[in-house]
Amino acid sequence: MIRLVVCGLALVLAGVVEAASPVFHLSWTNNLLTVREERLPSGKLEVWYLEAFLRPGANQRDWGKTTIRHRTELLFAAPDGRELRFRTRVEPAVEVLHEVRALGDELEFTFLLSNLGNEPAPLQWFQPACIRLAEFTGRGQSNYTARSFVFTTNGITLLDQTRRTTHALYLGGQVYLPPWTHSADANPRPVAHDRVTNGLIGCFSADNQWVLATASDRTHELFEGVYVCLHSDPLIGGLAPDETKRIRQKLYLLPNDPGALLRRYQRDFPEATATAF
């Protein structure tokens, strides 16, 4: 059983374990990234990759009018399963070169977005990775929030303990915003009253031995989805003609120690943690 210890505003999960670093093997087909590791439930984790590129003003607009058509192709797959490289073309003239690398106990995603056209590209944010977590958490859509978390002013906070809302264009799920994201640009799902204080979103494994979390260096929103999934969705902020932007994201699989996870995030994304939140 998960044991939660409240200390001031901090919510700390007890049960730290010692474990060797995971060994990941990556494959991708039909927009599904499969991460294999023998200690994962069923030995794998599935990620819808890439999911969507979005215009500004998403919160009150039909999803089909917010998304921008894109197509992804696999350029390279390392024989040892440790690296994948891709090209995604986003209409009308944006090219995204991106790669996924397995580095010890983490996956690193890097994105290079370039506007090759003569007009500004209205890419406000994107959803690179829909991380499917039913097997990892041992829970379904109705209760996996009790094993999933973000960081708020109360510290690490389980999603079912956040100040949730139920009014939105599309019902189901919950959106968690950093201070700078306007609600008008948020996902058209219910937006929680709690604002997040860093870019981490994650969950605990069914056996309490592991914590899985993801973050990027440009947080637009964190999202609890409707397919037993979690998202860290990065901000793009538009692309001028000939402009290029680089975005980094990580997915961690660590022994169950939220404090160590937070220190890891602060080390890996100092530019995101120093002044942004």
| Residue-level pLDDT, tens digit, the chain, 277 residues | 333 433 333 334 444 444 567 789 999 999 999 999 988 888 999 999 999 999 999 999 999 999 999 999 999 999 999 999 999 999 999 999 999 999 999 999 999 999 999 999 999 999 999 999 999 999 999 999 999 999 999 999 999 999 999 999 999 999 999 999 999 999 999 999 999 999 999 999 999 999 999 999 999 999 999 999 999 999 999 999 999 999 999 999 999 999 999 999 999 999 876 556 7
CA 58 to chain centre: 18
Are the CB atoms for 68 and 90 separated by under 8 Å? yes
Task: Provide the 8-state DSSP code for 55.
Answer: -
- Can you give the pLDDT at residue 22? 76
Are the CB atoms for 84 and 74 separated by under 8 Å? yes
| 67-101 pLDDT, tens digit each | 999 999 999 999 999 999 999 999 999 999 999 99
- Can you give the pLDDT at residue 10? 36
**Measured between alpha carbons, how far is residue 136 from residues 144, 147, 230 in Å?**
10, 10, 12
- Can you give the pLDDT at residue 209? 94
- CATH topology for 20-273? Beta-galactosidase; Chain A, domain 5 (2.70.98)
Q: What contacts 16, CB < 8 A, 6 or more positions away?
A: 255, 256, 257, 260
Q: Where are the domains of the chain?
A: 20-273
Q: What contacts 227, CB < 8 A, 6 or more positions away?
A: 130, 132, 141
Tell me the C-alpha distance between 237 and 220, whole Å. Answer: 9
| 228-250 pLDDT, tens digit each | 999 999 999 999 999 999 999 99
Q: How many CB atoms lie within 10 A of CB 240?
A: 11
The continuous run of DSSP H or E covering 231 comes out as strand 229-234
Amino acid at 19: A
Q: Model pTM greater than 0.95? A: no
